[in-house]
Amino acid sequence: MISDTYARLAELRSEAGEFDAAARDVEAGLELAPAPSHFQGHLYEVAGVVEERRAKALDERGDREAAAQGRQRAVGLLERAISIQDQVITEALKSAPEKPR
């Protein structure tokens, strides 16, 4: 899915320190994955990683307050990713055939 390509671009850009561009890639991917799905969950996970990297860079520059805010954003995004993936797994298990006994 194209949304997963945006997730990969965001990962690469954030590795290069291009945090704003990475965040825009995540947003573009989310436009293509508006409903809870593996892809949407992955995009939120990547958004959390982008914010973690941004926070680390801010911390290294000595901007402790902005770094702490970035870490809080990262935690929120990662928690959302977990929630979405949990929902996706729960729905998949509901439709899975019952195991024979």
DSSP 34: -
Predicted confidence at residue 97, as pLDDT, reads 79
> For residue 95, what pLDDT is reported?
83
> Taking Cα atoms as reference points, which of 40, 69, 30 lies closest to residue 52?
69
Q: What is the pLDDT of residue 42?
A: 97
Assess contact for 51 and 77: CB atoms under 8 A. yes
Of 51, 38, 54, the closest CA to residue 77 belongs to: 51
Q: What are the CA-CA distances from residue 47 to residues 21, 40, 86 (Å)?
A: 11, 11, 17
Instruction: Give me the residues of the chain with pLDDT under 50, please.
Output: none
pLDDT in the model for residue 87: 96
Which pLDDT score is estimated for 94?
Answer: 87
